[in-house]
Amino acid sequence: MSYLDDHLLAGERIAYRARLHWTIFLTAIVVVLLGVALAILLQVFEPAYAYAGLGLSGIGLLLAIGPAIRYVTSEFAVTDKRVLGKVGFIERESDETLLSKIEAIAVDQGVIGRMFGFGTLTITGTGGTQEVFSGISDPLQFRRQIQSQIIAQEERRGVSPAAAIAPDPKQPRLERECPYCAELILSRARVCKHCGRDVVPSPG
């Protein structure tokens, strides 16, 4: 039983779990590989010094201890009520944001992040508060899951898809096309509910 499972509210269920990406071990992996390569070269040309390569590999393994602890003790999840995150074991930091309080979800991925599938997800809540999840594996999927649960929560509260589509004569529903997928979205929307991309809201 994980920390997040132990701290669920009554009737709350986890819909999606996220983890840190394996690239947090990248430095340790590079050092170990360099050590192995050095050991092989020294074994061929200077066998008496082959231990130097093994020593370098040992340093790489030591460098992996910190990321390993961080990986094992970090948990992130989307429930039907909240977005949860827990980092650390002795010095524990836990964050939670109610789905009803989320105003925007941003994903930051560089070129390397897009290639290997990791990035930073930032959740902006009411009042401008922000929760930042760095080094998350597949952040776009994480965002889609949050958006899905927000929509599901709104439907459970009585906002049916049919009611959402039906125009209100007193307050017309202003829509526009998403610039990426061409599906109809609200003019005030900041995130396309179809493709999940960030869009600039139209004025008015």
pLDDT in tens, 101-144: 999 999 999 999 999 999 999 999 888 888 999 999 999 999 99
The Cα–Cα gap between 25 and 135 comes to 11
Examine the domain organization and report whether 148 and 85 are in the same domain: yes
Residue 200 covered by a domain: no
pLDDT in tens, 144-175: 999 999 999 888 776 554 444 344 555 566 77
CATH number for the domain harbouring residue 147: 2.30.29.30
Residue 102 covered by a domain: yes
Q: Containing domain of residue 153, as a range?
A: 3-20+74-166
- What SS3 class is residue 17? strand
Q: Which two three-digit tokens encode residue 23?
A: 């690239």
Among 129, 133, 130, smallest CA distance to 119 is for: 133
The torsion angles phi and psi of 178, rounded to 5 degrees, stand at -65, 130
What's the predicted TM-score (pTM) here?
0.71
Examine the domain organization and report whether 116 and 47 are in the same domain: no
The Cα–Cα gap between 99 and 38 comes to 52
DSSP secondary structure letter of residue 122: E
Residue 203 covered by a domain: no
Q: Strands 130-137, 93-98: parallel, antiparallel or unpaired by DSSP?
A: unpaired
